[in-house]
Amino acid sequence: MQRFLIKDVFASESLLIGTRLVVCGWARTIRLQGSGKFAFLELNDGSCFKSLQVFADPNTEGWQELVKNTHAHTSWRVTGKLVESPGSGQSVEVQAEGLQLLGSCSPDSYPLAKARLPLDFLRTIPHLRPRSNTYGAASRIRSTLAFSVHKYFQEHGFQYVHTPLITTSNCEGAGELFSVSTLMSKADTCYTPENRSWDYNQDFFKRPTFLTVSGQLQAEAYACALGNVYTFGPTFRAEESHTKRHLAEFWMIEPEMAFSNLQDVMENAEGLLKFVDIIEKPFVRLAYGDAIDLLQRSGKKFEMPAEWGNDLATEHEKYLCEEHFGGPVIVYDYPMDIKAFYMRLNDDDKTVAAMDILFPRCGEMVGGSQREERIDRLLGRIEELGLDGSSLEWYNDLRRFGGVPHAGYGLGFDRLVQFATGLENIRDVIPFPRATGHAMC
């Protein structure tokens, strides 16, 4: 007899009526009724939100086992026939011929025995919380969104590139770094306290290495060979942060497009966010200078006044997305001094071809730019900012040899899931969140 996932039973229920089948899952509830003459078991196998009703009575093989194990979250293998349900609330049910208990579950010790447990308690049991309705649903949404992201890029001629997680430099200056090393357990021989130095010759890679903050620079190398590429993988920031919007380990999507400019990436990013079906509204596009004007004329009192040359604060982003426009806003052409070295200088010599997409509730969902493809300007910028030019030589090569205009962006996947699910805390959209002082399992 064939085993069916419960979502597949529901998807083809009219075709399957009368079919004998196997379903497995966990009991959401088991109700003995009619003075113990029959029972209803609500079976959920995690494949969808909805549970499948199973009807059993003393003729069902395994009936005694059921009567002795009526706790929620016991696990079962059920054989039976799918029939139209005589009861209300469901169109089909399984008339059980056999029931087999796979695993018991004592409500006295099971942390999830009670219903409607608060999310901050569930956060302390990351290995069990996907069994709850909220996390189960969020996990399924996350998986669907991730696949949608891949589909979008693959259907639009992009190639998926696995940029490295272990990197040799922090050129972007995007934040604090985690070191990756095999020396920590060998500090007695590899660390010299007198001059506070490590003998990196004894480290695995024979040089200092870190967890990446972005795959962009390496993705650029591939865009300058393959055209349109994207990365989709974990990135890291060792920033002390206790907000609801930051993680130390999070998943980023970073497309990079050769022969493209800032307009192209704005369109690509908006296209992606429409494709994955989280929003329908067209995005407002607003130059940074106009955004500052608008904030200054809003008559709104901000804690940090909006001023040309400063980055937008959360309160400004909120005002733009939530109060003024009531939807996503693309702010572009930021002052060069608040943006990264690789962004393309505009003709005004003071702004760069950068854009951020601000979302209601989540703040910055996307950050992108056209990249500086002019080698002289790029080298000038690296020098001005006092960056380590030698470690960027490979990056500069991309401009020296058949360089092309190109542009890209980074999209925080966890924020996308946050927006799609409505979950407030970003720690609730990733299976095992990593944050300051917090790493379980």
Residues 33-52 that bind a second copy (CB under 8 A): 45-47
The residue from 163, 214, 216, 369 that contacts a second copy (CB under 8 A) is: 163
Shortest Cβ 354–a second copy spacing (Å): 21
Site for a second copy in 288-347 (CB under 8 A): none
Per the listing, tokens 């001094």 go with 337
**β-pair type (52-56, 38-44):** antiparallel
CA 249 to chain centre: 10
Total residues interacting with a second copy, rule: CB under 8 A:
113
Per the listing, tokens 């039976």 go with 80
Site for a second copy in 96-125 (CB under 8 A): 102-106, 109-110, 112, 125
Shortest Cβ 141–a second copy spacing (Å): 10
Any bridge partners for residue 438, and if so which? 435
Q: CA–CA separation, 362 vs 290, rounded Å?
A: 22
Q: For the chain, how big is the Rg over CA atoms in Å?
A: 27
Q: Are 420 and 410 in contact (CB under 8 A)?
A: no
Closer residue to a second copy, CB minimum distance, 55 or 158:
158
Q: Are 62 and 79 in contact (CB under 8 A)?
A: no
Stretch that binds a second copy, among 59-67, 310-318, 345-353, 428-436 (CB under 8 A): 428-436
Shortest Cβ 334–a second copy spacing (Å): 25
Closer residue to a second copy, CB minimum distance, 75 or 310:
75
Number of Cβ within a 10 Å radius of residue 118: 7
Closer residue to a second copy, CB minimum distance, 316 or 399:
399
Stretch that binds a second copy, among 151-159, 305-313, 345-353, 419-427 (CB under 8 A): 151-159
Site for a second copy in 377-396 (CB under 8 A): 394-395
Give the CA angle between residues 171, 176, 179 to the nearest 5°. 85
Shortest Cβ 259–a second copy spacing (Å): 4
Shortest Cβ 47–a second copy spacing (Å): 5
Q: CA–CA separation, 144 vs 434, rounded Å?
A: 22
Shortest Cβ 35–a second copy spacing (Å): 27
SS3 298: coil
Shortest Cβ 42–a second copy spacing (Å): 14
Q: CA–CA separation, 215 vs 254, rounded Å?
A: 7
Shortest Cβ 160–a second copy spacing (Å): 4
Reference 72, options 3, 131, 140, 135; nearest CA is: 131
Closer residue to a second copy, CB minimum distance, 138 or 321:
138
Q: Which two tokens stand for residue 236?
A: 């890291």
What number of CA atoms fall less than 13 Å from residue 352's CA on the CB side?
A: 25
Q: Are 232 and 251 in contact (CB under 8 A)?
A: yes
Residues 169-208 as x/- pattern, contact with a second copy by CB under 8 A: -------xxxxxxxxxx-xx--x-x--x-x-----xxxxx
What number of CA atoms fall less than 13 Å from residue 333's CA on the CB side?
A: 15
Site for a second copy in 213-232 (CB under 8 A): 217-218, 221-222, 224-228
Told to check if 152 binds a second copy by CB under 8 A, we report no
Told to check if 77 binds a second copy by CB under 8 A, we report yes
Shortest Cβ 370–a second copy spacing (Å): 14
Start-to-end CA distance of the chain, whole Å, equals 37
Told to check if 157 binds a second copy by CB under 8 A, we report yes
Q: CA–CA separation, 82 vs 84, rounded Å?
A: 7
Shortest Cβ 29–a second copy spacing (Å): 13
Q: CA–CA separation, 20 vs 293, rounded Å?
A: 68
The residue from 50, 64, 87, 147 that contacts a second copy (CB under 8 A) is: 147
Q: CA–CA separation, 346 vs 211, rounded Å?
A: 32
Stretch that binds a second copy, among 159-167, 320-328, 349-357, 361-369 (CB under 8 A): 159-167
The residue from 234, 289, 327, 335 that contacts a second copy (CB under 8 A) is: 234
The residue from 209, 214, 216, 351 that contacts a second copy (CB under 8 A) is: 209
The residue from 70, 75, 90, 298 that contacts a second copy (CB under 8 A) is: 75
